[in-house]
Amino acid sequence: MLVFAVADSVINYKDIEMQNKLITAALLASSLTLGLGQVSAGVVSSEQMLASQQHHYNKQQVLSFLDTAEVQQKLVQLGVSQEEAAQRIGNMTDAELAALNNQLHEMPAGGVVDTIVTVLVVIAVLDLLGVTDVYPFIRPIRFQ
């Protein structure tokens, strides 16, 4: 009987060794195929980096302008929430953001109303183009 017990343990050991080899092979194959992602590197030109930084700067400047108490009060009077205005600013193009930011910096201290009107006109134009839906009374233009 002792011989069979020893023989069984050898067989079990061989089975376990085979299972370990299969598991190791499966893990190795899956780590090689799944672990490799595509990586691409490229040269970023100074113009691209500058344009990206300028867009971010203009957006932050306009959004910080929305945080002022005067602007928030005027937006509430006109029925536009700060979140809606921030979302519309996020949808602006680089040129629109740059123009609005330049206008903000060139205006006198009391010219907040002009800027608010400009922002609201831009939002109205975006509503007309169908990009946004802030004003329910403005229906978007349908291009045929």
Report whether pLDDT(39) > 70: no
Rounded to two decimals, the pTM is 0.42
Q: Is residue 29 part of a domain?
A: yes
**Span 52-88, pLDDT tens digits:** 888 888 888 888 888 888 878 887 887 878 888 888 8
Provide the pLDDT for residue 36. Answer: 62
- Same domain as 25, residue 56: no
- Model confidence pLDDT, tens digit, residues 90-106: 888 888 888 887 877 77
Q: Residues 112, 85: one domain? A: yes
Q: How confident is residue 112, by pLDDT bands cut at 50, 70 and 90?
A: low
Domain that holds residue 4: 1-33
d(CA 113, CA 119): 10
Residue % of the chain over a pLDDT of 70: 80
The answer for residues whose C-beta is within 8 angstroms of residue 103's C-beta and 6 or more apart is 114, 115, 118
The conformation of residue 21, written as its DSSP 8-state character, comes to H
Q: At what angle do helices 46-66 and 82-90 cross, to 10 degrees?
A: 170
Angle between helices 94-106 and 46-66 (to 10 degrees): 50
Do residues 83 and 105 both lie within one domain? yes
Residue with token string 């330049």: 102
Residues 2 and 67 grouped into a single domain: no
How many domains does the chain contain in total?
Answer: 2
Query: Residue 2: its pLDDT value, please?
Result: 43
Average pLDDT over the chain reads 76
Please report the pLDDT score of residue 111 as a whole number: 60
Q: Does residue 56 sit in the same domain as residue 107?
A: yes
In a domain, 141, yes or no: no
Higher-confidence position of 113 and 125: 125
Q: Are residues 51 and 122 in the same domain?
A: yes
Listed residue (62, 103, 116, 121) closest to 86, CA to CA: 62
Q: What's the CA gap between 62 and 86, in Å, rounded?
A: 9
